[in-house]
Amino acid sequence: MAAAIYSLYIINKSGGLIYYKDYGSAGRMDTNDSLRVASLWHSMHAISQQLSPVSGCSGIELLQADTFDLHCYQSLTGTKFFVVCEPGTLHMESLLKYIYELYTDYVLKNPFYEMEMPIRCELFDINLTQAVQKDRVAFLGR
Amino acid sequence: MPSSLSSILLHSFILPSSTSFPSSPVATATAALLSSSPSFAAVVEIELVLPDLAFLLHVVDSCSSPPPSLTGLVVLVLANLLHHSCNRIRLLAIQGFGSTSLLIKNAIFRGNGVCLLYREWNRPLRTLNAQQDHKLMFGLLFSLKSLTAKMDPTSAEKGNLGVPQLPGQGCSFHSFRTNTYKLSFMESPSGIKIILVTHPRTGDLRDSLKYIYNLYVEYVVKNPLYTPGAPIRCQLFNTTLDQYMRGIA
């Protein structure tokens, strides 16, 4: 069975956190910490592009640590979606692309949503919760 | 000729304690000085490629205060050698630096960010400044370690972001991948960080990093002429590292 997803972050193009959802990790962070971590990730992503030995680097896609993996997807507009999951979780790239689709459908097409602001769209939350459930993740990876 | 004088002296000194050596005097001298511990051979070995005794004087000079006479110098070298047990004879292999299709770059850092060793095997693009590169690398790794320690989903008690972590404290990352390169990282308990930058489709390199750390311990740490924290100038370490990297490339 697909392993667990711990949390999801969405960062706008300037590096500010616009969405943070924790799905049951022991290391749940408060708002301030999640903001700091998100902007730190934004900077690290940019620096990793500088360190590339070959031209054409688009930043960190996967970070592997001892107790978790971090998958990151950057859209063409600079919005970053990253998910913290158990080590060895499969199909995270396709999940992130699916979340990007949900973002474009339920957030960007929402006329009351201001760009670069925190996301407060109920339909986005509902669909996201459905997408992140374990059996749906396995379905996506098919 | 100075080299034959030194070779005769070495031959007569070493022979009782060692068994098989080639018969010619120059080759005997070469073999005798090579059959010492790897760490000491790291200093002496390269000097033997050229039979110029001036190089031999230079080596002994850096060990300790040199005695005045030539005989005394040679005896001092031998006295140091006999302290170490005889290992197998190592051949000095001089390899050309061809380009490989696998991008490899290797850096070893100390605890406070001083770069001890930087080797590259194939690197098409550079940042503006080599010094900048090292600082950037160290900064990135320090911050990523801080980030992973804070983001750890399995532990509830975490320090604040940016607090310097001891080696081994908190969750640490072992690699990250971008679309153009993969960086593998290992930190030893003493704070020595070993970094390998490779092709993105490389597998898990943690075993390679452990092996390189073992090479570091054998050829650098055990070298009596190496001061901890200084940039690594051990020729034997460089050679063995090169051989290993070309082997896995």
CA dist., res. A109 & res. A78, Å (int): 18
- The 10s digit of each residue's pLDDT in B32-56 is 333 333 333 333 333 333 333 333 3
Q: Give the nearest chain B residue to A53 (CA atoms).
A: B125
Render pLDDT for B112-132 as a digit per residue (tens, 0 to 9).
667 778 777 777 666 667 778
CA distance B142 to B134: 12
SS3 B143: helix
The C-alpha of A39 sits at a distance from chain B's nearest C-alpha, in angstroms, of 11
Return the structure tokens found at B188: 């030893």
The size of the A-B interface in CB pairs under 8 A is 125
Specify the pLDDT at position B121. Answer: 76
Kindly provide the ipTM of the predicted complex, given to two decimals: 0.88
Q: What is the pLDDT of residues A98-114, one digit of tens each?
A: 999 999 999 999 999 99
Model pTM above 0.80: no
Please give the residue that has the higher pLDDT: either B124 or B222. B222
Chain A residues within an 8 Å CB radius of B137: 51
Q: Which residue has the tokens 């107790």?
A: A67
Yes or no, beta carbons of B147 and A64 under 8 Å apart: no
Q: Closest-CA residue in chain B for A7?
A: B153
| Cβ atoms of B136 and A8 closer than 8 Å | no
Hey, what amino acid is at B131?
A: Q
Nearest-CB residue to B174 (from A29, A58, A66): A66
- The one-letter amino acid code at B174 reads H
Closest CA to B127 of B114, B140, B117, B116: B140
Label residue B220 left, alpha or beta by phi (over 0 means left) and psi (-120 to 50 means alpha).
Answer: alpha
Cα nearest neighbour of B140 on chain A: A44
d(CA A27, nearest CA chain B) in Å: 4
Give the rounded percent of residues in chain A with a pLDDT score beyond 90: 68
pLDDT of residue B161: 77
Of B169 and B76, more confident? B169
Q: Please report residues of A whose CB lies closer than 8 A to that of B125.
A: 52-55
- Cα–Cα dist B52/B41, whole Å: 17
pLDDT at A52: 85
**A35 contacts on B by Cβ (under 8 Å):** none
Which residues from chain B sit within 8 angstroms of residue A58, using beta carbons?
178-180
As a whole number, mean pLDDT of residues B204-219 equals 92
Q: Give the distance from residue B91's alpha carbon to the nearest chain A alpha carbon, in angstroms.
A: 33
Q: What is the DSSP letter of B196?
A: E
Residue B113, pLDDT score: 66
CB contact under 8 A, B154 and A33: no
